[in-house]
Amino acid sequence: MEDIIAGRNQVREALRAGRDLHKILMAERLEGEIIGEILSLARTCGVPVQRVDRNVLDKMVGERHQGVVALAAAKGYVEVEDLLALAQKKGEAPFLIMLDQVTDPHNLGAVLRSAEAAGAHGVIIPRRRAAGLTAAVARTAAGALEYLAVARVANLAQTIVKLKDSGLWAIGAEGDGEKLAFASDLTVPLVLVFGSEGRGLSPLVRKRCDFTIRLPMRGKVNSLNIAAAAAVLMYEVVRQRYCGSL
């Protein structure tokens, strides 16, 4: 479950300590020295701040919040280097998943569950404009968060460049991708990059990918939900790497 941190000093100290915070809820028109420090620390740490009515905070924690409540991640994040180290420890070619501004917690949770089941070495998400590891995500992941490492980064495009420098291929998934997924070599060290619901890959992230792949669509709809598409593509990686010619 999410850890709720209430109170100005408590939230400030959590930010100072580098605690993984999903977001900060702050009462409207709240000002002051400590509030200014919280806002500055939140900007530095990449933690979004949402202004809300005090009644929202009252319902969450009673009247002990002093106008400030922080929601901590349901699980701590790791560094991207930790994901690569895990692949090396297992003696496997890196298999990472990157999510570009996926905002729906149920989609994120479903992707995390599929990633763990498919044996991915970890998932990378952005700090801003995306769902984090909230209680709702943990519930949808149905236990997968206990076994799957998740890294959160400030800049996805720069992270892709670093991964490519480490020998990984960056392969984007799009409805009109350049290559058919089933005709592409997914046995190489790779990071599969999936775009947000509706908008797909952001232009700069798409530009950093080596190429994009697509799934063949035989029906009337022209694309799958991100959670469904991610599951299919992750298991294509499993098929190519571990199932031989079956």
- Show the tokens assigned to 138: 């943990």
- Residue 106: left if φ>0, alpha if ψ -120 to 50, beta else—which one? alpha
Q: Which residues of the chain have pLDDT under 50?
A: 1, 245-246
d(CA 169, CA 211): 9
Output 36-40 pairs: Cβ under 8 A, ≥24 positions apart.
Answer: 37/12, 38/8, 38/11, 38/12, 38/68
User: Is residue 101 within 8 Å of 38, Cβ to Cβ?
Assistant: no
Q: Is 151 helix (H, G, I), strand (E, B) or coil?
A: strand
Q: Are strands 49-52 and 21-27 parallel, antiparallel or unpaired?
A: parallel
Order of strands, edge to edge, in the sheet holding 3-6? 3-6, 68-72, 21-27, 49-52
Indicate yes or no: pTM above 0.95: no
d(CA 83, CA 41): 27
Closest-CA residue to 213 (of 174, 157, 167): 174
Output 37-45 pairs: Cβ under 8 A, ≥24 positions apart.
Answer: 37/12, 38/8, 38/11, 38/12, 38/68, 41/12, 41/15, 41/16, 42/15, 45/15, 45/18, 45/21
Q: Is 231 helix (H, G, I), strand (E, B) or coil?
A: helix
- Show the tokens assigned to 107: 């989609």
Q: Where does residue 92 rank: exposed (0-12), middle (13-18), buried (19+ CB within 10 A)?
A: middle
Cβ neighbours for 15, distance < 8 A, ≥ 6 positions apart: 21, 38, 41, 42, 45, 47, 70
d(CA 17, CA 227): 34
d(CA 60, CA 54): 10
Could you report the per-residue pLDDT of 95-122, keeping only the tens digit for each?
999 999 999 999 999 999 999 999 999 9
Q: What is the model's pLDDT at position 246?
A: 44
For 1-11, b where at least 16 C-beta lie within 10 A, e where not — what string? ebeebbbbebb
- Show the tokens assigned to 127: 């700090």
d(CA 189, CA 144): 23
Q: What is the model's pLDDT at position 2?
A: 59
Domains and their CATH numbers in the chain: 3-72 (3.30.1330.30), 80-242 (3.40.1280.10)
Q: What is the model's pLDDT at position 197?
A: 81
